[in-house]
Amino acid sequence: MNGFARMANAMLQQTVGGTLQLLSNSGTHCNVGNRSVRLLPKGFKLEVEFPKRAIYSSGKRKFNVIQPSTSQTSVVGPLLAPSSSDTLDSHMKSNEVALILIRHGESLWNEKNLFTGCVDVPLTNKGVEEAIEAGHRISNIPVDMIYTSSLIRAQMTAMLAMTQHRRKKVPIILHNEDERARAWSKIYSEDTIEQSIPVITSWKLNERMYGELQGLNKQETADKFGHEKVHEWRRSYDIPPPNGESLEMCAQRAVAYFRDNIEPQLLSGKNILISAHGNSLRSIIMYLDKLTSQEVITLELSTGIPMLYIFKEGKFIRRGSPVAPTEAGVYAYTRRLAQYRQKLDDMLT
| Residues classed as catalytic | 104, 207
Angle at 268 between CA 327 and CA 47, to 5 degrees: 145
Distances, alpha carbon 94 to alpha carbons 5, 47, 66, 89, 336, in Å:
25, 12, 15, 11, 10
Q: Given phi > 0 = left and psi -120 to 50 = alpha, else beta, which region is 85?
A: alpha
- From edge to edge, which strands make up the β-sheet containing 306-312? 170-173, 196-201, 145-148, 272-276, 96-103, 306-312, 315-320
Cα gap 274→277, rounded to integer Å: 10
Cβ neighbors of 344 (< 8 A, separation 6 or more) are: 88, 140, 166, 167
